[in-house]
Amino acid sequence: MASCAALLLFGFILSPFVPILTLILMDAPEVGSTCMGSAGGMFFSVSEIGGFTGPLIMGAVVDATGGFLAGTLLFAVLCLTFFVLTFFLKTERA
């Protein structure tokens, strides 16, 4: 039951990030409207690596442990780690 709730929470949290990241990319002055197609293509190419490696890692953990709980906890810890690391990002003020 806990792994089901964690997967639901993961889906609800992750879903809005791709549109938000695309809007941030569109708003970046370095990209501009002339390069948005290329920049968007590169962004989605890199972001889809996770669409392949996520299920691959989950499958390997399930095969090693015999259940989904360890894989779910692994991804939860990974998400929490990235969340904490975002506080260390530096941005320039305009």
pLDDT at 94: 62
Residue 46 inside a domain? The answer is: yes
- State which H helix or E strand residue 36 sits in: helix 36-65
* Location of structure tokens 């259940």: 67
Residue 92 inside a domain? The answer is: no
Residue 93 inside a domain? The answer is: no
pLDDT at 64: 96
pLDDT in tens, 4-61: 887 788 778 877 888 888 888 888 888 877 888 888 888 888 888 878 898 899 999 9
- For the whole model, what pTM was predicted? 0.58
Residue 61 inside a domain? The answer is: yes
Half-sphere exposure at residue 91, Cβ-oriented, CA atoms within 13 angstroms? 6
| Structural domains counted in the chain | 1
Domain, as residue range, for 14: 2-86
Residue 17 inside a domain? The answer is: yes
Residue 26 inside a domain? The answer is: yes
